[in-house]
Structure 1
Amino acid sequence: MSSKSKNEKHVIVISYDAFSQDNWELASQQPNLSKLIRNGAWTTKVKSVYPTLTYVIHASYVTGMYPNKHGVYHNNPFQPFVPEKDQEWHWYRSNIGAPTVFDEVARQGMKVAGILWPVSGKSSIHYNIPEIKAIKNENQALKILKNGSPVYSVSMELKYGRYRKGIEQPYLDDFSTMCAVDTIKTKKPNLLLLHLIELDDTKHALGTKGPHIEQAICRMDKRIGDLMRAVDEAGIRDKTTFIVVGDHGQLDVRYKVHLNRLLRDHGLIYEENGEMKWRAYVQGAGGAAYLHIREGDSEAGRLALELLEQALAQDCYGIESIFTRDELDSLHVDTAFHYMLEAKEGYAFDDAYNEPIVVDLHARGIKYATHGYSPNKPNYTSALVISGEGIESELQLGEVEVIDIAPTIASILGIDFSACDGRALTEIFKEKSKILL
């Protein structure tokens, strides 16, 4: 396939954060998404990676690799005792220890744009507003300029910044969509990576059911329509494929579980000279958690495991399973970890060590939902739509995985990205014999 023909193709990836199978009935009836479905392939059986956290999954999206290969094991690097609002995240391309499809697209001479795409700071993306947050005394605007594309970021901010109110929704996703529309019409990137977050934010704040979900889905469909119109106005509709994909589901949570309080009560977390220290520490990942053991402290490992096994035997702690290394191998979890905890539905893990071990959120008047749970949890898959001129119409796909996204993007653009864990979903193509396999 010639370079010229490659450069004529366009892929717009819309990461529809938390777009899960339970949202499909409503979302698929909306005017714009339903049009993409009629002209494309779809499934509600997208299997994620473990833990089902946004940055872990987005690293798998772009590498086609499981976390034990790409190295992004959590949204955040391990930072014991640092308040969540002050924690670093895996914001940078350098955090990914594997090739990415956006690097390969750029290397092939094609244009790439990224708007609030996770784990993309300081990357090869030509037009880049990375998802990154100022912490402590940092300046948000300067941090974006330093880690994204300065001229492009300033241009988008001057044009559309007045529509944004920090990270408040729906204004943030509206801003991101405006930037994407402008970029499609003026830059015509071969690959656009767009992360839209309102549905995820809404579920976290208010739970997975209710009119707030319907409102978020309706607003999301309007954004999809704006992007579809931008493609028409750019004159590239017959050369463009849309990929709309949900990264994970969410489950409603009644109980937050603070297992570090349990470890502190038994001396494995302690204060020394006014400073908090740890021998064992549970790093929460919502519906999952990592058990960290101080290197060389086998006694701490034994004591922590005994405590957690005792907690597992008591329903009130909400521990569904303690995964050992054999089970973690089957889940493709980073080999640095020997144990992970899986929460029961209705429970989630949090890092706090100075709260009660179990907190009833409903008793405090709090609605909350989260993710992170095993991708093998029942009814916990997400949704995918792939739609465009060369895609089979109304094709219902079976089970696919988030690691299939990168090789599928590559196949659409006519480049090779087969050296990964995922597979190109070649069954979506009308003329399969002409597609690079």
Structure 2
Amino acid sequence: MTQTMQGIAKHLIVVSYDAFSEDNWEQAKRLPNLAKLIAKGAYSTQLKSVYPTMTYVIHSTMVTGVYPDKHGVIHNNPLQPFVESKNQAWHWYQDNLNVLTVYDVAKQAGLKTAGIMWPVTGRSSLTYNLPEIVAVNDENQALKVLKNGSPFFCLNLELKFGRIRKGIEQPYLDDFSTACAVDTIKRKKPNLLLLHLIDLDDTKHKYGTDNKAVDQVIQRMDHRLGDLIEAVEEAGVADETAFIVLGDHGQFNVNYKVYLNNLLKEKGLIFDRDGKLEWRAYFQSTGGSAYLQIQKGDQEAEQLALELLEQIAPDQQYGIEQFYERDDLDRLHVDRSISYIVEAKQGYSFEDGLSDRIVEDLEQQGIKHATHGYSPDKDNYHCNLVISGDKVNHGLQLAELEMVDIAPTIAKILGLEFTGGDGRSIDEAFQQ
């Protein structure tokens, strides 16, 4: 396959600015490097995400142009009841996706592609790939990356920039990722580079959305964008390069963590057998919502769990805003393997684990925390998007957009034929 259309740019840098949401726009747009991209671009503060608003679910949509019910990554993690979060496997590998990605189509067209810490790209078709992948259960981190990325490419980056990183601690991880991206732009000049930066997301989780630490990370992020712009200029491809900078979800502050599985345990739907926990019904949390999982064919467990939900839903302490059944979930493009979702009110989050209390009051303990995973229909929860380049309509404010529009827009910029998605190319962003 070759490029079939006239592209907007020969090179495209896509920066996933994790958790970059509409409430951050006023501060970020005034900083020099994002301001430079906005001045040469079109933008929106009304990019609507997908349900549930989890990083791996959303990034899968970004590159496939379809909703989660089609691409198949419906949570960051496969279902692993009672496994500690630090030991859980994630959807690290491209073979978790059911459909082609825009970078697959780019490769078929003979373009060079690169990914730096992009989710769900282990063992992918990216030409140069440093995947986001984590060692669990005594695995070796370096070997796992080499095995599932591009070995020589990863090794070279590790030798050059490994000293910058301190595990997954921020801001060092994103500084490392940015250095890797800068080096890749200069040495490889990929037609498509996908970069995932998570400093803002990590900081909001840790300190809440309205902490000074958030202001500091937005300033750090602008410096990183400056490094990427400078790299494009030094590579001599500035006139032929477009940028997309976008958030994947918002976050909300959490005052109360709710352990719904405690209630299932009280009902006998989670139980101890020979020292091992087993389940007939289980809440798999996304943070701002939770999937109600039922063992296949266990109609009694399903009935008991639904009766429990009906009983507790009116009780304010459990923070349940909405209970979605299959008709609602079809509208929300949730995978058909999920029959029920419980949505949390703002200020509440749901947790997988079992705890010594059903509701944990964070405010009382002086703990700051924020999370995501809520419905994308919630107010003040949209993401930001900037599309920048010489052939973009400069200064254009775009209306509400969908996350499924990103992959077709990437294809449009690179002149690729990309059909069969749920979204559309944001053609109004480009000069005719």
CA contact (8 A) 1:102 1:124 kept: yes
Q: Distance in 1 between matches of 2:4 and 2:293?
A: 48
Deviation at 1:2, TM superposition (A): 6.2
Is residue 2:293 matched to residue 1:288?
no
- Give SS of 2:66's match: coil
> Over residues 179-223 of structure 1, what are the superposed CA-to-partner deviations in whole Å (9 max), with x where a residue is unaligned?
000000110000000000000000000000121111000000000
Verify the 8 A CA contact 1:7 1:110 in the aligned structure 2.
no
Q: How far, CA to CA, are the matches of 1:7 and 1:224 in structure 2? A: 21
The sequence identity of aligned pairs, in percent, is 60
CA distance in 1, matches of 2:419, 2:22: 28
In structure 2, the CA distance between the partners of 1:99 and 1:164, relative to structure 1 (3 Å rule), is: same
Q: Which amino acid aligns with 1:317?
A: Y
What corresponds to 2:369 in structure 1? 368
Q: Which residue of 1 aligns with 2:396?
A: 395
Residue equivalent to 2:29: 28
Q: Which residue of 2 aligns with 1:138?
A: 139
Partner of 1:158: 159
Letter in 1 for 2:17: Y
What amino acid sits opposite 1:256 in the alignment? K
For structure 1, which runs of at least 5 residues remain unmatched after alignment?
432-437
Q: Secondary structure at the match of 2:356?
A: coil
SS in 1 for 2:133: coil
User: Quick one: distance in 1 between partners of 2:321 and 2:194?
Assistant: 36
Measured at CA, do residues 6 and 398 of structure 1 come closer, stay the same or move farther in structure 2, by a change above 3 Å?
Answer: closer
SS in 2 for 1:157: helix
Match in the other structure for 1:435: none
The answer to whether 1:416 aligns with 2:383 is no
Partner residue in 2 for 1:81: 82
2:228 maps to a residue whose letter is: L
User: Aligned partners of 1:8, 1:296: CA distance in 2, in Å?
Assistant: 53
What residue is the counterpart of 2:39 in the other structure? 38
1:111 paired with 2:112, answer: yes
Q: Give 2:203's aligned residue.
A: 202
Is 1:303 aligned to 2:308, yes or no? Answer: no
Pair 1:185–1:405, CA change in 2 (3 A): same
Residue identity opposite 2:305 in structure 1:
A
Give the Cα–Cα distance (whole angstroms) in 2 for the partners of residues 6 and 418 of structure 1: 16
Count of aligned residue pairs for this structure pair: 431
Counterpart-to-counterpart distance in 2, 1:348 and 1:288? 7
SS of 1:320 mapped into structure 2: strand
Residues of 2 paired with 1:429 and 1:4: CA distance? 14
Residue in 2 aligned with 1:383? 384
Please give the secondary structure, in 2, of the residue aligned with 1:12.
Answer: strand
Cα distance in structure 1, aligned partners of 2:256 and 2:418? 43
Structure 2 equivalent of residue 344 of structure 1? 345
Which consecutive unaligned segments of at least 5 residues does structure 2 have?
none
Q: Report 1:223-242 matches (<5 A).
A: 223-242=224-243
Q: Deviations over 1:33-84 (max 9, x none)?
A: 0011011000000000000000000000000000000000000000011110
Structure 1: distance between partners of 2:125 and 2:409: 20
Off by >2 Å, runs of 4+ in structure 1: 1-8
Taking a change above 3 Å as real, the CA distance of residues 187 and 4 of structure 1, as seen in their structure-2 partners, is farther
Aligned partner of 2:333 in structure 1 is: 332
Counterpart Cα distance in 1 of 2:201 and 2:8: 34
Q: Name the structure 2 match of 1:126.
A: 127
The two structures have a TM-score, normalised by structure 2, of 0.98
More displaced stretch, 244-253 vs 348-357? 348-357
Query: Does the Cα contact within 8 Å between 2:5 and 2:417 map onto a contact in 1?
Result: no
- Give the match's secondary structure for 1:208: coil
Task: Tell me which amino acid in the other structure corresponds to 2:220.
Answer: R
1:316-373 CA distance string (max 9 Å, x none): 1001011010000000000011100100000000011233111001222211000000
Question: Structure 2: which amino acid aligns with 1:48?
Answer: S
Give the Å deviation of 1:8.
Answer: 7.0
TM-score by length of 1: 0.97
